[in-house]
Amino acid sequence: MVTRRQFLYILGGTVAVAVLGGGVYFLTRTPSQQPQKPKTLSGKLTILGRSGYHETIVRNLMDTFSKKYPDVSLDYVPKGYTDEYQTIVLSMRNKSTDYDVLYIDEPWIHMMINNGWLLPIDQPDLSDYPDSLKSWPTVNGKTYAQAITGNANFLFYRKDILDSIGEQPPQTWDDVLRIAKKVKSKYTDVGVKLYGFGAYSVKGTSIAQDTFPAILYPFGGRYFADDGVTPALKSQAAIDALEFFKELKNYSHPRMTEFQSLAEYSDAILRGEVAVGVAWNGWLADIDNPQKSQVVGKIEVQPYPRQKTFFGAQSGVWYMAASAFTTNPDAAIEFVKVSTSFEAQKRAALEAGLPPTRLNVFTDDDYKSKRRLADKFREIILNAKPVRTNPLWGDMAENVGTYLYMGLLGQISAEEAINKAHEEMVKVTSAIKS
């Protein structure tokens, strides 16, 4: 059995393994030394990234880059979450030159580094990042990506509603359940469209990474062991967490397991329909925008409540990286540097709702004057920790989430749901350890 450290430090010249649909692909080429940046940049860059609010953020970053390098034309290809992951794996496996810059989620990074799919960044500016955001994309002294979108998964609540039912901000998940019951009694049961709890918990990947970790980790469960690779979901703590979630569902937004999109859930929050809930930063970008929100000034945020333990928050940071197969490496690496700089992050934070990753943006006077919750979001990003640490999380998340969803709905028992989800994780992970 290899340890997580051994897995992450596989030398670039050795055989690396990528798994998609059960196939094993062997790549033996790792990009060599970085070329020197020319005085001028030109040509074209195609950026592969996410759709939705992520696209708004990246297009703002592209505009910042274009102001500095007007001779480089930029094209953006937005994808849904699973579609982007599959596109990256297929295109990189085929050494495609279709994409120059990749906007990538945290759990994909080590799989991509060890497969030789990313260029190392020469002299990256890692100042004012939390330590975790410096170390995560750095292997053998080389940094292969830089953090940009500081997503964390955390708890939010409507302070006005808690005040109305005589409650303080929840310290434990038991507090959340008690609050949800009170909201149902005082509001939902008398016809008010307000629900005690909310989350984006639809079948598949979303429940596996957008909701369940918020309960699993405070209950003492976990997805992976200390090596970050070995599945560790099968436990009484995980069963207890899912049983608790089933109970909480009775007091939750009726569409919690049926939302058609992230935007639909975010809109429900903006309409004031959720008293307490779990969210990523981007879903709350407009809570204080009077043109879009009915809860201006009413929502507060905090790390996850504790139960058996305090976990903090789940990190879900997005990074910029340069494809190893780009035909314009100088411009691609410069795009990574410029788009993740303090100046670019500050502008995107003010204009496009970017949750920043550089701590000095949170403390910037301009940002603080326009973002009421700047200090609290800074606290959350400092407390955020990765939970999707297995490099092949993208290949297991959909099936793991399917079983969790079935357990939440009572289609199978909580114990069976956890056991089957664990088996899926073992099945995929065996490719790493074989």
Q: What is the DSSP string of 227-290?
A: TSSSB---SHHHHHHHHHHHHHHTTB-TTTTT-SSHHHHHHHHHTT-BSEEEEEGGGGTTTT-T
| Helix (H), strand (E), coil (C) string for 34-83 | CCCCCCCCCEEEEEEEECCHHHHHHHHHHHHHHHHCCCEEEEEEEECHHH
pLDDT digits (tens, 9 = 90+) for 364-414: 999 999 999 999 999 999 989 999 999 899 899 999 999 999 999 999 999
Phi first, then psi, for residue 164 (nearest 5°) are -70, -20
282: confidence class by pLDDT, cuts 50, 70, 90: confident
Tell me: pLDDT of 23 over 70. Answer: no
Q: Span 408-428, mean pLDDT?
A: 98
Could you identify the residue written with the tokens 């629900």? 195
pLDDT in tens, 55-95: 999 999 999 999 999 999 999 999 999 899 999 999 999 99
Please write the tens of the pLDDT for every residue from 303-362: 999 999 999 999 999 999 999 999 999 999 999 999 999 999 999 999 999 999 999 999
Mean pLDDT score of the chain, rounded to an integer? Answer: 91
Average pLDDT over residues 136-163: 97
In this model, does residue 429 exceed pLDDT 70?
Answer: yes
**pTM for the complete prediction?**
0.84
Spatial CA neighbour of 303 closest among 403, 386, 219, 383: 383
Tokens 């990286």 correspond to: 321
Banded model confidence at residue 434, pLDDT cuts 50, 70, 90:
very low
Q: How is residue 162 annotated by DSSP?
A: H
Pick the closest to residue 380 from 295, 329, 314, 298 (CA basis). 314
Q: CA 308, CA 221: separation in Å to the nearest integer? A: 10
Is the confidence at residue 36, as pLDDT, over 80? no
What share of the chain in percent tops pLDDT 70? 90
The band of 39, judged by pLDDT with boundaries at 50, 70 and 90, is low
More confident residue, 121 or 383: 121
Reported as a pLDDT band with limits 50, 70 and 90, residue 205 is very high
125 in helix, strand or coil?
coil
* Share of residues in the chain with pLDDT > 90 (%): 87
Q: How confident is the model at residue 262 (pLDDT cuts 50, 70, 90)?
A: confident
Decide if pLDDT at 210 tops 60. Answer: yes
Residue 272 has pLDDT above 50, yes or no: yes
Question: Per-residue confidence at 40, pLDDT binned at 50, 70, 90?
Answer: confident
pLDDT at res. 433: 56
Helices and strands, counts by H and E, the chain: 18, 14
Q: Tokens 């860059």, residue? A: 45
| Kind and range of the H or E run holding 104 | strand 101-105
- Band (431; pLDDT cuts 50, 70, 90): confident
